A and B are shown apart, each in its own frame.
Chain A
Amino acid sequence: MGTENIPSALVQFASADKLINLGRANSLWPLTFGIACCAIEMMAAGCARFDLARFGAEVFRPSPRQSDVMIVAGTISKKMAPGIKTLYDQMPEPKWVIAMGNCAISGGPFVFEGQYGIIEGADQFLPVDIYIPGCPPRPEALIEGIIELEYKITGWRRWPKVTAE
């Protein structure tokens, strides 16, 4: 494979990189962008009972220019997809995408023979980082998704893993 032959940088700032990644991972500002049912659970996750703010992720920015993570919370219709793509392109690097809910993962319950209106999953046109299944997922699942995203960025999971009994 050609990708393996890329020479690594001569000087590496490993610790600085780590710090930067930590910074990025703990200050994930989502874009205020709800599409459907899951958006309500996203709001619920931001509200008092679950409080995304604890992870520094409550700053829902209305402008894509200032947000780091896009939570695709709902069904993506074919009419909407170009808009979402534009929003994604407007976000500055580094940026991440969370596909929340079954609709955003694969079209969910709205996939059927002869469907004409929806895109079957956000990963068809966006590089999705985290998938959170559920219809809709509980707010804890979204928090878990944020934690998982932090794990992906830093390679270090700071919180215990909760197993449901």
Chain B
Amino acid sequence: MYRYFSEIFSGLWSLIVGMRITLVEFFKPNITLHYPHQTVKMPARYRGHIELIADEEGKPRCVVCGMCEKACPSGCITLEGEKPEGSKKKVLTSYKLDFTKCSLCGSCVDSCNFGAVEYSKEYNLASTRKEDYHFDLLKRLEDRHS
């Protein structure tokens, strides 16, 4: 009999304790980030899709060594370059990133010995077309610099 009543009362008490906690939470300010109105700054190391880095003249630093292409586990990167006449270095003619296959592992940035690629901070991509994510990074670079 004693156990019967003590169980009822301790049970009730645990319920009341729980309700007190949620009541306190009810009056606490909420922690929500109101996204389209407020945004959070991405940390410096945030890994978005990759972007090319330009040198001082606005040309890509990339030397078309193809290390990133080789390092990429899912084969998102295709780049082409050509050697213009009278130049020693290869010049990048196209750098295509298929972001829809990317796993954001960072192998490409790790493998680049020339510091030619970086992560972008784009974190809120959404579109009605899949093709929007087949980036032409060279074009994006030019757009940024024009």
Residues in chain A within 8 A of chain B (CB atoms): 48-51, 54, 102, 105-109, 111-112, 121, 123, 128-135, 137-138, 140-145, 147-148, 152, 159-160, 162, 164-165
Contact = CB atoms under 8 A, between A and B. Distances in A.
Nearest to A133: B133
B73 A109 contact: yes
Given A130-B127, A138-B123, A50 B33 contact: yes
Contacts, number: 115
B126 A130 contact: yes
Q: Which 4 A-B pairs have the closest CB atoms?
A: A109-B103, A159-B36, A145-B126, A106-B100
A144 to B, nearest CB: 4
Nearest to B39: A162
Contacts of B37: 159-160
A50 B128 contact: no
B122 interface: yes
A135 B104 contact: yes
Contacts of B101: 102, 106-109, 111
Contacts of B129: 131
Contact of B99 (A50, A102, A145): A102
A104 to B, nearest CB: 10
Contact of B32 (A50, A106, A111): A50
Given A108-B103, A109-B101, A123-B130, A164 B33 contact: no
Contact of B127 (A48, A123, A131): A131
B123 A51 contact: no
Contacts of A160: 36-37
A54 B36 CA distance: 11
Contacts of A50: 32-33, 35
A148 B127 contact: yes
A143 B38 CA distance: 13
A144 B103 contact: no
B6 interface: no
B34 interface: yes
B121 interface: yes
Contacts of A105: 100, 130, 133
Contacts of A109: 73-74, 101-103, 105
A131 B31 contact: no
B38 to A, nearest CB: 9
B120 interface: yes
Contacts of A51: 32
A134 B125 contact: yes
